[in-house]
C-alpha cells in the first residue's frame, strides 16, 4: 500500500475502493490541507511582507489545483483509477468558491498562486462572503439570479482565533478571521485571510438574492458586491470595504510589530497592494491607527505613503469609485477628518480642481487618495497604462510621472494549463521538459515544432478530445448537445456592453439569415460547421446586459428549431459561467472572441488563457490583445476594427451617430431589424427586444456599428482558414509557444522588482 493510500484509508476509516466519492473528496481534502499547512513559512524569519488587499478573490475549485501544486496529483489519480474511481467525478462534489466577479478577482487568485510559487513573503486579505457571485439560471430565455452557497460544504477554510474590533456607525463589531491556504507550485504555502462576522445570517435571503440591506450585523459579509443601485446597497459596500481594511490594517500592524517593526519603519516590513479602489480606505485607516499609537499626523502620512501601492483596472468612469462624504460621515466618521486633511494638503499644493480628493459636490474620489498617498500607480497592460498616463489620469501623471508604471497582467499556468488541460500540459512537457512550468519563457522552445507534421497532428488530436470532453460535459450537466466536429467559437466573460457580446450576436443573426436564404434558394449548405458558444453573467441591476442575454437565447431557440441551418450553425449560451465552466471551455476553443471596443478593456486575461491552450484570437487592438498581436505576428491572430486613438477622439468630439451607420449599411440594418422582427418577437419578450434595438439605434455607446463590417469579414476569413487544418494548427502552436510572457509569475516578478522589493 502506498503512503497516500494508507493515509487516505486512515482519514476515511475505509479503503479507497469501499469509499464513496464524497468520502474520497473529504479524505483528499484533509490530506492536502495538512500538506499545505506544513509549508506555511516561518513568520519571524522574513522581514518585509506583501499584503494583497482585494474585495474579490475568484478562487475556483481547489482540489486538483492543490494536488498538482503539492506534487500529489498523478499519484492520487492513479490510485483512484486503480480502485475504479474517477477524479473528475470527485471534483464535481466540490463547491466552487466564487468570491469574485470576473477578471479582477481571478487575477488576484492567480497572483497569490505566483507569490507562493516564487516563495515571496505575502498573503491575501479579503472578505469571507457566505454566498458567492449569484448562480445563473435561464428561465423563459432570461437570466434568473439565485443564491450560490459554497461555504458550508467547502472545508477549505480554517477558522482561526484571530479577530479585531471594527467600529462602524457607532457600533462595534468583532470579526473572525478565516484562513485559506494557497499552495504554490512545489514551494511554500501562503494564507489568504478572509474576515467575517459570526452574526451573519444566510436565512435572511429571499426571492432569489434579495435581503434586508440595513441589517448590518446579519448581512455584512453575506454577498460579494451587493446591488448598488440604491442608497442602502451603496452604503453596505462602504461597510464591507471598511470592515475589510480596518481588519487588514490591524492585522498588518500586529504582524509587523511581531516581526520587529517599531512602526516608524513600517515600510521596511509591509507593502500593501490596493487592488482597484475597493480597499482604498486602508490609507486613512492606517494613518488613523498610527496616530492612535502616538505617531504625529505628518509622519503617519509619510509612513503610509511609502507602504501603499495602487493598481487601476479600468478607465470606465462608472467603475472609478466616488462616495458622497455624507455616507462616510454616517458610517466611518473616524476617517472623515483624516480624508479632509489629505484633501487639504492636495489643495494647498496644487491649484487644479481635477486632482482634489473631495470635489465641489462633496464627493470623495477614492482613486485620487491612492494616487496622492501611494508610492506606485500601475495599469494592467501596456495600452491601458498609456491611456492612463496620456488621457484618463493625465493631470496626475504630470504631477507624479515617477509613480506610474505598467504591469501587464498574467495567468497561472498551474491552473490554466496543467490543471484544466492536463493532456496538453504533459504533451508540451514531453517535448521540451518541465522547466516551462516555473520558467514560462521556456515555452518559446515549443515553437521549434511549428513545421513538424507529427506535432501538429498530435495537437489537433488533443484539441479534438478536449472538444469531445466539453460536448460530453454540456450534455451531462445541461443536456445541451453540440457537434465536436464543428468550429468552437467562444466568447465567455462577464456581460458588458463594452465587451460587445451584442456585436457577436449581430453577426450571428447576419450569418443565420445568409444560411436561411441559401436554404430557401435550394442551395447546399457547404459552409464550415460552426458552434458559437456564449457564457456570461450580467449584473442583476444591468438591464441592457440582461436584454442582450435574452436576445442571444431567443436566437439560439430559433436556430434550434431550424432543421436545415442547425446542421451547420448553432448558437449556444451556457448558463452559470464560473471558473469551473471556464476550465472546460478554454481547452476546447478554436477561435477566441476578444472583441471589446479598443481602449475599453484594460487588459483581459481570458485572451491569455485561450492563447495558452492553443486557440487563435479574433480581436481588436485593445488591452493585452495588443501585446498578443506583437508576440504572435499578423499571421497568427485576426485583428480588426477601430484603433484606440480613433475611438478616444470620437468620445472627445462626441461625433458618433449610430443611426447614420444603420442607414448606410444594409447588411447591418437587416441584422438590427431582425431583433424586433416577427420570429424574435414570437419567441421572446417585446419590451426587452425593443429596448435593445433602441439602445443600439439611438446610442450604441460602445460603437459596435462602425466595427461590424470589419468584424464580419475577418471572422468569415478565419472560418475559411480553418479548413486548412495544418496551417491552422501551426497558428495554434505559435500561440502556445508565445504565451510564456503571460505567466503571472512574470507579472509578479515585475511587481516585486519595481514596487514591493520583498526578498
Handedness of CA 120, 125, 128, 132 (dihedral sign): negative
Q: Which stretch, 208-216, 313-321, 391-399, 464-472, contacts ligand CR6 (CB under 6 A)?
A: 313-321
Told to check if 314 binds ligand CR6 by CB under 6 A, we report: yes
Q: Is 684 in the site for ligand CR6 (CB under 6 A)?
A: no
Give the max Cα distance, the chain: 86
**CB 383 → ligand CR6: shortest distance, Å?**
11
397: DSSP letter? H
Minimum separation from the CB atom of position 594 to ligand CR6 (A): 10
Q: Give CA–CA dist 450/734, Å, rounded.
A: 7
| Site map 95..134 versus ligand CR6, x via CB under 6 A | -------xxx--x---------------------------
The per-residue DSSP string of 542-576 comes to -HHHHHHHHHHHHHHHHHHT-TTGGGTEEEEEESS
Helices of type H across 654-701: 658-664, 666-674, 678-683, 686-698
Catalytic residue among 106, 414, 415, 499: 499
Nearer to ligand CR6, 107 or 586 (CB): 107
Measured from the CB of residue 696, what is the shortest distance to ligand CR6 in angstroms? 22
Among 509, 504, 487, 526, which Cα is nearest to 562's? 509
Please name every residue paired with 571 in a beta bridge, in sequence order, or none if there are none. Answer: 532
| In the complex, least distance from residue 712 CB atom to ligand CR6, rounded to whole angstroms | 25
Binding to ligand CR6 by residue 309, rule CB under 6 A?
A: no
Nearer to ligand CR6, 28 or 380 (CB): 380
One-letter-per-residue 3-state SS of 12-61: HCCCCCCCCHHHHHHHHHHHHHHHHHHCCCCHHHCCCEEEEECCCEECCC
Considering 141, 493, 500, 629, which one is annotated as catalytic?
A: 493
Least distance to ligand CR6, CB of residue 56, Å:
8
Q: How far is the CB of 278 from ligand CR6 (least distance, A)?
A: 9
In angstroms, what is the minimal distance from the CB of 317 to ligand CR6?
Answer: 12
Based on C-alpha coordinates, what's the Rg of the chain? 26
> Minimal distance in Å, beta carbon 597 to ligand CR6?
12
> Any idea what DSSP says for residue 391?
I
Shortest reach from residue 544's CB to ligand CR6, in Å? 17
Give yes or no: 730 in active site. Answer: no
Q: Are 624 and 409 in contact (CB under 8 A)?
A: yes
Q: Among the residues of 185-296, which ranges form H helices?
A: 216-219, 231-259, 282-292
Query: For residues 380 and 631, which CB has a smaller minimum distance to ligand CR6 in the complex?
Result: 380
Instruction: Assess whether 609 carries a catalytic annotation.
Output: yes
3-state secondary structure of 297: helix
Check residue 649 and give left, alpha or beta (phi > 0: left; psi -120 to 50: alpha): alpha
Q: Give φ, ψ of 32 to 5 degrees.
A: -65, -40
Q: Of residues 409-428, which lie at the interface with ligand CR6 (CB under 6 A)?
A: 409
Q: Which is nearer to ligand CR6, 80 or 602 (CB)?
A: 602
Residue 276 interacts with ligand CR6 (CB under 6 A)? yes
- Cα–Cα distance, 755 to 90 (Å, whole number): 41
How far is the C-alpha of 547 from the C-alpha of 544, rounded, in Å? 5
Phi-psi region of 356 (alpha: psi -120 to 50; beta: other; left: phi over 0): beta
Contact 274, 108 (CB under 8 A): no
* Identified catalytic residue from 48, 235, 259, 313: 313
412 is catalytic: no
313 binds ligand CR6 (CB under 6 A): yes
Please name the residue ranges forming H helices in 613-665.
Answer: 625-632, 644-653, 658-664
Q: Report the residue from 603, 625, 704, 735 that binds ligand CR6 according to the rule CB under 6 A.
A: 603
Q: Which one of residues 64, 128, 576, 605 is an interface residue with ligand CR6 (CB under 6 A)? A: 605
76-79 LR contacts (CB < 8 Å, sep 24+): 76/4, 76/28, 79/2, 79/4, 79/5, 79/8, 79/16
Residues 27-46 close enough to bind ligand CR6 by CB under 6 A: none
Q: How far is the CB of 108 from ligand CR6 (least distance, A)?
A: 9
Find the binding residues for ligand CR6 in span 654-673 (CB under 6 A). none
Residues between 217 and 236 that touch ligand CR6 (CB under 6 A): none
Residue 602 found at the interface with ligand CR6 (CB under 6 A): yes
| Contact predicate 636/616, CB 8 Å | yes
CA distances from 609 to 54, 420, 427, 562, 589 (A): 22, 10, 17, 34, 10
Give the residue with the Cβ less far from ligand CR6, 276 or 590: 276
Minimal CB distance residue for ligand CR6: 103
**Number of other CB atoms surrounding residue 423 within 10 Å:** 15
Is 273 a binding residue for ligand CR6 by CB under 6 A? The answer is no
Q: Which of 494, 496, 550, 693 is catalytic?
A: 494
Grid cell at residue 230: 440604491
Q: Which residue among the candidates 130, 415, 570, 609 is catalytic per the annotation?
A: 609
The region that residue 147 occupies, defined by phi over 0 for left and psi between -120 and 50 for alpha, beta otherwise, is beta
Residue 213 and residue 219 in contact, taking contact as beta carbons nearer than 8 Å:
yes
- Tell me whether residue 29 or residue 585 sits nearer to ligand CR6 (CB atom): 585
Q: Which of 605, 683, 704, 747 is catalytic?
A: 605
Report whether 451 contacts 729 (CB < 8 A): no
CB of 494: closest distance to ligand CR6 in angstroms?
A: 6
CA 319 to chain centre: 15
From CA 135, how far away is CA 640, in angstroms rounded? 34
Based on the shown chain and the rule CB under 6 A, indicate whether residue 604 belongs to the binding site for ligand CR6: yes
Instruction: Give the span between the Cα atoms of 160 and 193, in whole angstroms.
Output: 10
Q: Which CB, 189 or 596, lies closer to ligand CR6? A: 596
Indicate if 313 belongs to the active site: yes
Per-residue contact track with ligand CR6, 178 to 217, x per CB under 6 A? ----------------------------------------
| 617 counts as binding ligand CR6 under rule CB under 6 A | no
Q: Give min distance, CB of 496 to ligand CR6, in A.
A: 8
Instruction: Show the binding pattern over residues 728-747: x = contacts ligand CR6 (CB under 6 A), - = does not.
Output: --------------------
Kindly tell me which residue out of 1, 319, 468, 525 binds ligand CR6, with binding defined by CB under 6 A: 319
By CB under 6 A, the residues from 380 to 409 that bind ligand CR6 are 380, 409
Q: Is residue 518 annotated as a catalytic residue, yes or no? A: no
Nearest to 191 by CA among 148, 151, 150, 162: 162
User: Roughly how many angstroms between the first and final C-alpha of the chain, as a whole number?
Assistant: 41
**Angle of the 21-38 helix axis to the 3-12 helix axis, nearest 10:** 120
| Minimum CB distance to ligand CR6 smaller for 409 or for 712 | 409
Whether 499 sits among the annotated catalytic residues: the reply is: yes
Judged by CB, which is closer to ligand CR6: 193, or 493?
Answer: 493
Q: Which is nearer to ligand CR6, 589 or 602 (CB)?
A: 602
Size of the site for ligand CR6 (CB under 6 A): 16
CB closer to ligand CR6, 250 vs 378: 378
Shorter beta-carbon distance to ligand CR6: residue 102 or 132:
102
Minimum CB distance to ligand CR6, residue 380 (Å): 4
Point out which residues bind ligand CR6 (CB under 6 A).
Answer: 102-104, 107, 276, 313-314, 319, 380, 409, 601-605, 623
Active site residues: 313, 493-494, 499, 605, 609
Amino acid at each position: 500500500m502506498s503512503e497516500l493510500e494508507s493515509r487516505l484509508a486512515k482519514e476515511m476509516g475505509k479503503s479507497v475502493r469501499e469509499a464513496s466519492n464524497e468520502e474520497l473528496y473529504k479524505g483528499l481534502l484533509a490530506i492536502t490541507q495538512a500538506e499545505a499547512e506544513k509549508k506555511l513559512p516561518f513568520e519571524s524569519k522574513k522581514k518585509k511582507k506583501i499584503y494583497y488587499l482585494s474585495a474579490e478573490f475568484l478562487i475556483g475549485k481547489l482540489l486538483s489545483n492543490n494536488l498538482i501544486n503539492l506534487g500529489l496529483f498523478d499519484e492520487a489519480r492513479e490510485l483512484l483509477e486503480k480502485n475504479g474511481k474517477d477524479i473528475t467525478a470527485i471534483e464535481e462534489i466540490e463547491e466552487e468558491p466564487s468570491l469574485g466577479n470576473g477578471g479582477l478577482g481571478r487575477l488576484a487568485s492567480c497572483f497569490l498562486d505566483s507569490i507562493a510559487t516564487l516563495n515571496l513573503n505575502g498573503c491575501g486579505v479579503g472578505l469571507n462572503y457566505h454566498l458567492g457571485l449569484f448562480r445563473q439560471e435561464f428561465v423563459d430565455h432570461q437570466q434568473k439570479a439565485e443564491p450560490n452557497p459554497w461555504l458550508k460544504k467547502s472545508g477549505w477554510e480554517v477558522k482561526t482565533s484571530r479577530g479585531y474590533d471594527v467600529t462602524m456607525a457607532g457600533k462595534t463589531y468583532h470579526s473572525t478571521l478565516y484562513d485559506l491556504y494557497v499552495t504554490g507550485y512545489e514551494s511554500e504555502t501562503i494564507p489568504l485571510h478572509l474576515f467575517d462576522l459570526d452574526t451573519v445570517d444566510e436565512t435572511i435571503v429571499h426571492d432569489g438574492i434579495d435581503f434586508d440591506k440595513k441589517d448590518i450585523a446579519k448581512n455584512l459579509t453575506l454577498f460579494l458586491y451587493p446591488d448598488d443601485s440604491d442608497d442602502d446597497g451603496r452604503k453596505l459596500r462602504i461597510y464591507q470595504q471598511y470592515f475589510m481594511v480596518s481588519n487588514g490594517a490591524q492585522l498588518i500592524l500586529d504582524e509587523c510589530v511581531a516581526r520587529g517593526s517599531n512602526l516608524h519603519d513600517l515600510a521596511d516590513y509591509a507593502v500593501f497592494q490596493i487592488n482597484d479602489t475597493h480597499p482604498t480606505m486602508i490609507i486613512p485607516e492606517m494613518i488613523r491607527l498610527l496616530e492612535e499609537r502616538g505617531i504625529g499626523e505628518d509622519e503617519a502620512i509619510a509612513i503610509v505613503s511609502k507602504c501603499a501601492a495602487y493598481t487601476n483596472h479600468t478607465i470606465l468612469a462608472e467603475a472609478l469609485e466616488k462616495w458622497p462624504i455624507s455616507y462616510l460621515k454616517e458610517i466611518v466618521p473616524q476617517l472623515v477628518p483624516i480624508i479632509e486633511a489629505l484633501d487639504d494638503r492636495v489643495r494647498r499644493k496644487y491649484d487644479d480642481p481635477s486632482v482634489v480628493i473631495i470635489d465641489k459636490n462633496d464627493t470623495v474620489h477614492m482613486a485620487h487618495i491612492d494616487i496622492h498617498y501611494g508610492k506606485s500607480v500601475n495599469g494592467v497592460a501596456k495600452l491601458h497604462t498609456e491611456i492612463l498616463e496620456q488621457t484618463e489620469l493625465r493631470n496626475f501623471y504630470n504631477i507624479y510621472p515617477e509613480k506610474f508604471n505598467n504591469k501587464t497582467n498574467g495567468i497561472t499556468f498551474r491552473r490554466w494549463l496543467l490543471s484544466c488541460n492536463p493532456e496538453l500540459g504533459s504533451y508540451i512537457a514531453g517535448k521540451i521538459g518541465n522547466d516551462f512550468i516555473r520558467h514560462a519563457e521556456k515555452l518559446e522552445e515549443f515553437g521549434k515544432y511549428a513545421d513538424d507534421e507529427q506535432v501538429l497532428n498530435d495537437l489537433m488530436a488533443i484539441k479534438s478530445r478536449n472538444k469531445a470532453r466539453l460536448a460530453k460535459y454540456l450534455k451531462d450537466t445541461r443536456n445541451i448537445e453540440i457537434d465536436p466536429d464543428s468550429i468552437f467559437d467562444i466568447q465567455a466573460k462577464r456581460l458588458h456592453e463594452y465587451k460587445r457580446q451584442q456585436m457577436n450576436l449581430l453577426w450571428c443573426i447576419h450569418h443565420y439569415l445568409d444560411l436561411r436564404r441559401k436554404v430557401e434558394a435550394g442551395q447546399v449548405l457547404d459552409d464550415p460547421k460552426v458552434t458559437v458558444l456564449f457564457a456570461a453573467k450580467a449584473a442583476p441591476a444591468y438591464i441592457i446586459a440582461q436584454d442582450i442575454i435574452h436576445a442571444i437565447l431567443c436566437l439560439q431557440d430559433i436556430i434550434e428549431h431550424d432543421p436545415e441551418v442547425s446542421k451547420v450553425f448553432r448558437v449556444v449560451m451556457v448558463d452559470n459561467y464560473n471558473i469551473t465552466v471556464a476550465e472546460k471551455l478554454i481547452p476546447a476553443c478554436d477561435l477566441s472572441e476578444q472583441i471589446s471596443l479598443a481602449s475599453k478593456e484594460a487588459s483581459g486575461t481570458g485572451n491569455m488563457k485561450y492563447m495558452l491552450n492553443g486557440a487563435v484570437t479574433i480581436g481588436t487592438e485593445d488591452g493585452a490583445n495588443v501585446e498578443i498581436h506583437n508576440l504572435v505576428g499578423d499571421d497568427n491572430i485576426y485583428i480588426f476594427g477601430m484603433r484606440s486613438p480613433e475611438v478616444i477622439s470620437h468620445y472627445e468630439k462626441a461625433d458618433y451617430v449610430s443611426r447614420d451607420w444603420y442607414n448606410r449599411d444594409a447588411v447591418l440594418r437587416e441584422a438590427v431589424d431582425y431583433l424586433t422582427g416577427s420570429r424574435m418577437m414570437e419567441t421572446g419578450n417585446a419590451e426587452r427586444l425593443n429596448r435593445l434595438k433602441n439602445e443600439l439605434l439611438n446610442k450604441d455607446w460602445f460603437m459596435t456599428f462602425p466595427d461590424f463590417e470589419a468584424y464580419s469579414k475577418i471572422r468569415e476569413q478565419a472560418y475559411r482558414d480553418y479548413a486548412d487544418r495544418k496551417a491552422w494548427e501551426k497558428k495554434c502552436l505559435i500561440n502556445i509557444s508565445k504565451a510564456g510572457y503571460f505567466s503571472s509569475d512574470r507579472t509578479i516578478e515585475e511587481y516585486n522588482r519595481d514596487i514591493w522589493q520583498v526578498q
